[in-house]
Amino acid sequence: MSNKDNLTQLSELGEFGLIQRISEKIKLNNISTLKGVGDDAAVLDYNKDQIIVTSDMLLENVHFNLVYVPLKHLGYKAVMVNLSDVYAMNAKPEQITVAIAVSSRFTVEAIDALYDGILLACEKFGVDLVGGDTTSSQSGLIISITAIGRANKNEIVYRNTASKGDLVCVTGDLGGAYMGLQLLEREKEIFNANPGIQPSLDGNDYILGRQLKPIARGDIYEIFKDLKLMPTAMIDVSDGLSSEIMHIGFGSKLGAKIVEEKIPIAPETINLAKEMNLDPTVCAMSGGEDYELLFTINPDDYDKIKNSPDFTVIGTMVDEAEGFLLISRDGTPVGIESQGYNAFLKSKE
């Protein structure tokens, strides 16, 4: 986008023109979508299923930085964040609405790129974009997405329903998205100090992908069905393992013991963390944005997951009085604190 002359100002298109332009690209996938974009409101038919609704708002320079996040990736990730919350209820997302506020510095082509990412996410996950709003902003880009999904009421998994003795499990690996952010921040600083130096992001595709292109675990929703496994409690890992296990624990009136050496962390994450003098475990516990699923299961169900590469058992739910403990590699129990995570997160902004 170096040649500004070829780009179209939003004012040339107007709001109706913009909506028309976006609407033409929408394809509908779900029979639950009776009416999508094009009337005052969408109409959905969920028959006898229960409806899951979740929203998330992303603000420029608070939740994302357009210096290093391409708009297409941003659109894609904004959808993933919401779908992840629906999957965390053991439900299937079927619709989203997208509201954006943009300042005049954004061109039509920039908004196209944003929606290309949004619609790519919809296509990959079989979700319909059924409505939203576009308005102007005085201070950069704001994206608010609402996701709507379905579940049979007996299949919804809440975060406050774990039992003592349940095994704590996690999908995928943790800490990568945080290291991706650290890498992008480091290269931005170097670039700001000396714009002649090209960013050195080579060899870190996995880590960068974890930050820029997270994948909501819709596959796990299917795997649970195949395994006939119902987690006893579940949450997605948006804020780091520490805070998520505490959400399950506080909600269920229990504590938890997490075994440090069991926490799945990719070799790429470990290597980069060490290079940047960070503790990989801290990245997994406090980093966030991995969008994996953290869940508990009845120990009787262990056989269903023990051979699956998708799951790792990392701990056990214990009595509330025992609190939240990380059993370190040398066997020493260390208290898990949410306070640490809050302070840690500030460096992201």
End-to-end CA distance of the chain: 26
Of the pair 28, 58, the CB lying nearest Mg ion is at 58
- Give contact residues for Mg ion (rule: CB under 5 A): 85, 236
Give the burial class of 254: count Cβ atoms within 10 A of its Cβ; 0-12 exposed, 13-18 middle, 19 or more buried: buried
Output the smallest distance, CB 84 to Mg ion, in A. 7
Of the pair 129, 248, the CB lying nearest Mg ion is at 248
Of the pair 235, 272, the CB lying nearest Mg ion is at 235
Output the smallest distance, CB 330 to Mg ion, in A. 33
Of the pair 244, 301, the CB lying nearest Mg ion is at 244
Distances (CA, A) of 182 to 68, 201, 204, 277: 12, 11, 12, 11
Q: How many CB atoms lie within 10 A of CB 115?
A: 22
Of the pair 180, 240, the CB lying nearest Mg ion is at 240
Of the pair 83, 102, the CB lying nearest Mg ion is at 83
Q: How many CB atoms lie within 10 A of CB 106?
A: 21
Of the pair 111, 234, the CB lying nearest Mg ion is at 234
Which amino acid does the sequence have at 334? Answer: V
- How far apart, in whole angstroms, are the C-alpha atoms of residue 107 and residue 115? 13
Task: Tell me the backbone φ, ψ of residue 144, rounded to 5 degrees.
Answer: -125, 120
SS3 assignment, position 99: strand
Contact 152, 50 (CB under 8 A): yes
Output the smallest distance, CB 313 to Mg ion, in A. 21
Output the smallest distance, CB 54 to Mg ion, in A. 8
Which amino acid does the sequence have at 263? Answer: I
**What length does the chain have?**
349
Output the smallest distance, CB 196 to Mg ion, in A. 42
SS3 assignment, position 309: coil
Output the smallest distance, CB 187 to Mg ion, in A. 29
C-alpha 134 chain-centroid distance:
23
Output the smallest distance, CB 34 to Mg ion, in A. 28
Distances (CA, A) of 284 to 99, 103, 289, 297: 31, 35, 10, 21
Angle formed by the axes of helices 108-125 and 10-23, nearest 10°: 20
Beta bridge mates, 8: none
Of the pair 236, 289, the CB lying nearest Mg ion is at 236
Output the smallest distance, CB 243 to Mg ion, in A. 10
